[in-house]
Amino acid sequence: MAVAIIKVVDIIKIIIIYLVQQPASPPVSHAHSHSLLLRSPSYSHGLSTSHSLSLTAVSPTSPSFLKNSTSASPNRRWLRLLLRRFPTSVKLRPSLKFWLKWLKKVIKFSFAVVKPLPLTSLLLHLEMGELAADKHVKYIISVEKKKDSFESVVMEHLRLNGAYWGLTTLDILGKLDAVDEEDVISWILKCQDESGGFAGNIGHDPHVLYTLSAVQVLALFDKVDILDADKVSNYIVGLQNEDGSFSGDIWGEVDTRFSYIAICCLSILQRLDKINVDKAVEYIVSCKNLDGGFGCTPGGESHAGQIFCCVGALAIAGALHHVDKDLLGWWLCERQVKSGGLNGRPEKLPDVCYSWWVLSSLIMIDRVHWINKDKLVKFILDCQDMENGGISDRPDDAVDVFHTYFGVAGLSLLEYPGLKPIDPAYALPVDVVNRIFFSKK
């Protein structure tokens, strides 16, 4: 009896969720998991196999109803899901069976007739909060335009990183056309140094950090081919050291972040074979600690950001088998605190940027079910500034572009409706990554 009641409550919940969801958005979550699952075998077998996988793209383990209704509208799909979940062959008391049948008729009728009611959406969203997408878009555009404010002058040396954060957020929210593409691209090209690397702004010294951001932004606009890929890749290749590690620039600072940058950047430029990948992987593995995590150098403390870089690098290089997934998954899931947010190291406060780094690492090692996703979504939504737009590191702090990007990217990984899916290893929207690797040029 209790079981049957729970099922009825489930039906009502599904009705409300359906009514509240934006009907116009395509089934985003399925595309997201589709590309990720295409990727996940490739993470262990190297990128070369992913090409063959894409050509024989089989529907992944998404609910079976998708297979039958590729052309049907989202409405029909939800209906089929509902009906399939609650077949009338369930052994219930006859009176309950009758009620269930009647309820299904009501649902069919309401799907056909009733449009999303403002009241029900308000009720649900009051509980969880809502993503103020338009406000965030306005905030990012205002940051981009204000070149003379104190904040932008102080951040002048990393403007290229800021461009990547802002523009990727806009792309995930589907508003990349709000910026002037020509303007951005011409400015980026001016940031390129004669060595091939990019600097944070015009006239500054080159560094791999900005080189990756430049390549990523050009990928967003599908203009990677305007670069001299050999020149850029030669700059990066020249920074690999004998032990396989990478320096950030000519001054020699070594960090596993730079290994990730090198591998990711060369992979986008499709020049990964120019470096000694095995040695690079060997160096990253040497930075593995006893708790399963990775530091910035061998023996360095495990840090969620460094872990993301190492796991991402190994994923792109097809060497994820070096990661002890259970041990690392354990360390990562211990990052979730009571409020639902994630921190970067033990005993630290939660921060929205870790909702990206920890989450994407968990997804890459396939342990994301070890954290409570709903609580994390609620935490990120609580960190928004609902009046002026933008997301801060913690609820009620000041906002910035950095955390806005990580908050929105984290929500995308959590399959929040209305957002484009993002690739956890490349940190670019899935359609951009697919365009780079799977379109015949």
Contact residues toward other proteins (CB under 8 A) are 154, 156-158, 199-200, 203-205, 207, 249, 251-253, 290-291, 295-297, 299-301, 303, 324, 326-327, 330, 333-334, 345-348, 369-372
Q: How far is the CB of 291 from other proteins (least distance, A)?
A: 7
Closer CB to other proteins, 334 or 415, in the complex: 334
> What is the C-alpha to C-alpha distance for residues 101 and 8, in angstroms, rounded to an integer?
11
Report CA dihedral (74, 78, 81, 84) to the nearest 10 degrees.
Answer: -120
Closer CB to other proteins, 257 or 420, in the complex: 257
Q: Where are the alpha helices (DSSP H) in 150-255?
A: 150-154, 159-172, 181-190, 208-220, 229-237
Q: How far is the CB of 72 from other proteins (least distance, A)?
A: 34
Give the CA count within 13 Å in the CB-facing half-sphere of 228.
13
Q: 384 forms bridges with which residues in the sheet? A: 391
Closer CB to other proteins, 196 or 421, in the complex: 196
Closer CB to other proteins, 174 or 298, in the complex: 298
Q: 150: exposed, middle or buried (C-beta count within 10 Å: 0-12, 13-18, 19+)?
A: exposed
DSSP 198: B
Q: How far is the CB of 169 from other proteins (least distance, A)?
A: 22
* CB 344, CB 305: distance < 8 Å: yes
Closer CB to other proteins, 200 or 389, in the complex: 200
Task: Report the candidate in 296, 271, 270, 267 with the shortest Cα–Cα distance to residue 426.
Answer: 267
Q: What is the three-class DSSP state of 410? A: helix
Q: How far is the CB of 187 from other proteins (least distance, A)?
A: 17
Distance from the first to the final alpha carbon of the chain: 60
Q: How far is the CB of 157 from other proteins (least distance, A)?
A: 5
Closer CB to other proteins, 136 or 288, in the complex: 288
Q: How far is the CB of 204 from other proteins (least distance, A)?
A: 5
> What is the C-alpha to C-alpha distance for residues 16 and 26, in angstroms, rounded to an integer?
19
> What is the C-alpha to C-alpha distance for residues 72 and 81, in angstroms, rounded to an integer?
13
Closer CB to other proteins, 32 or 207, in the complex: 207
Q: How far is the CB of 370 from other proteins (least distance, A)?
A: 5
